[in-house]
């Protein structure tokens, strides 16, 4: 069993829809939770970083962490074609562990 | 303009050949990392370095070697012992290990086998 599980998709939504992404994990030692966005043939860039259970908002993006269920989510409101990318979750104990990434396409 | 640069963008390797991927950062970060990305598998850690002249194996170090002679530079050599080298290689740096929120990635090098 992988430490971090993420559905690879692909996920296709119309412009303006809410995109919902999630990851589950098995290691209770994970303390820090991140979401990265990766455009095709580019390096990942950090989108959101959270430490505690609960919600964190940044513009159209909301990251949610539920440590009791070992479940994290990323929501993208009012999605745009420029949001089309692969989204990677990552978690840190003494090193970063990544999910496989979910490929999202937002249709104009 | 701070950041991480990787070169080349594309690299072709012949059978039995060693090739070296370059990674340079001007962020004054102490820690540097090499990851390998394969379709459907996320990023896997090859090697990391927390300080000059010191580096540690990651989860998939076999067939790879690194050096850290300068703070700014962390080159990765893919040796002939790596039997399946075709992948997207990403270099990253962070202020220190355990400061993942400061981790930046380079643009990547795609390695292909001829």
Contact A95, A45 (CB under 8 A): no
Write out pLDDT tens, residues B63-114: 999 999 999 999 999 999 998 999 999 999 998 877 877 889 999 999 998 8
Among candidates A43, A98, A100 on the partner chain, residue whose Cβ is nearest the Cβ of B108: A43
Cα separation, A52 vs A105, in Å, equals 29
Interface test with A, best of B32, B59, B89, B101 (most A CBs within 10 A): B101
A32 contact B CB<8A: yes
CA B25 to chain A, closest CA, distance in angstroms equals 14
Q: For each of chain A's 108 residues, which pLDDT tens digit applies? A: 788 999 888 999 999 999 999 999 999 999 899 999 999 989 999 999 998 888 999 999 999 999 999 999 999 999 999 999 999 999 998 788 999 999 999 999
A99 contact B CB<8A: yes
| Mean pLDDT score across all residues of chain B | 93
């Amino acid at each position: 069993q992988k430490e971090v599980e993420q559905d690879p998709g692909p996920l296709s939504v119309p412009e303006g829809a809410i995109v919902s992404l999630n990851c589950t994990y098995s290691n209770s030692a994970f303390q820090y939770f991140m979401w990265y966005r990766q455009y095709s043939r580019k390096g990942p860039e950090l989108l959101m970083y959270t430490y505690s259970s609960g919600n964190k908002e940044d513009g159209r993006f909301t990251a949610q962490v539920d440590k009791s269920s070992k479940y994290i989510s990323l929501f993208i409101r009012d999605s745009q074609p420029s949001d089309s990318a692969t989204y990677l979750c990552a978690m840190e104990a003494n090193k970063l562990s990544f999910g496989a990434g979910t490929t999202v396409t937002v249709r104009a | 303009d701070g950041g991480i640069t990787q070169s080349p963008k594309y690299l072709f390797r012949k059978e039995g050949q060693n090739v070296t991927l370059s990674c340079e950062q001007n962020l004054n970060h102490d820690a540097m990392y090499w990851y390998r990305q394969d379709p459907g598998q996320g990023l896997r850690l090859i090697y990391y370095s927390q300080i000059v002249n010191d580096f540690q194996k990651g989860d998939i170090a076999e067939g790879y070697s690194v050096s850290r002679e300068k703070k700014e530079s962390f080159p990765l050599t893919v040796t002939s012992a790596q039997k399946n080298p075709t992948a997207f290689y990403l270099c990253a740096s962070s202020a220190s290990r355990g400061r993942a929120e400061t981790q930046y990635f380079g643009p990547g090098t795609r390695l292909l086998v001829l």
